[in-house]
Amino acid sequence: MRTNNSKVKNIIISTYFVLIVLAIFSAFVFSSFRYLTPDPILTFVLVILFFVLIFILVHRVSKYFEYDSDGAKVIIINRGLLLSDHFNYREHIVEFEKQDLIAYKFNNYLINKTLSIYLKDKRTGKRKETFNITLVPRKKRKYIRQSLSKMVKQNQQNTDSK
């Protein structure tokens, strides 16, 4: 099975655009924030901190996710949505044999969702890899869960028969 969340890129670009427009708009309507504090510098700092916080939150959540379980190996890729064609500073790729999958877990936090997979490792015995799947639609997460469940079940049957 092969799936990704490439359609989300336009939504993230739109979100960044809206944030920039709101920041510019708030700079022009700065006098309306006067009721927050009597000090205009403090008001300006509060508004800037608010936009920086939202920008960092969107940047942290916005990740491209690709899952490919066709063939003997499974490939899972996480990378940033913006500038990922030129800079791969947020890229996380894991490629493993299907029989190396021990378990998986979907975590649903307040702001983001993650997929944790547990793999066999020759040195430590067990290795954990975590991927951001916040922007993956629910239907695709269901398909990924089915695929991973099938692999874990097959691996457990193989170890029980040995």
pLDDT of residue 162: 64
At 35-66, the pLDDT tens digits run 666 676 777 777 788 888 888 888 888 888 99
Cα dist. 57→28, 70, 115 in Å? Answer: 24, 33, 19
Crossing angle between the packed helical segments 40-61 and 9-28, to the nearest 10 degrees: 180
Confidence band for 31, pLDDT divided at 50, 70 and 90:
low
Contact in structure between 93 and 73 (CB atoms under 8 Å): no
At 103-140, the pLDDT tens digits run 999 999 988 899 999 999 888 889 999 999 998 999 99
Output 103 or 85, whichever has higher pLDDT.
103
Between CA 55 and CA 106 the distance in angstroms is 25
> How high does pLDDT run on average in the chain?
84
Place of tokens 């990924």: 144
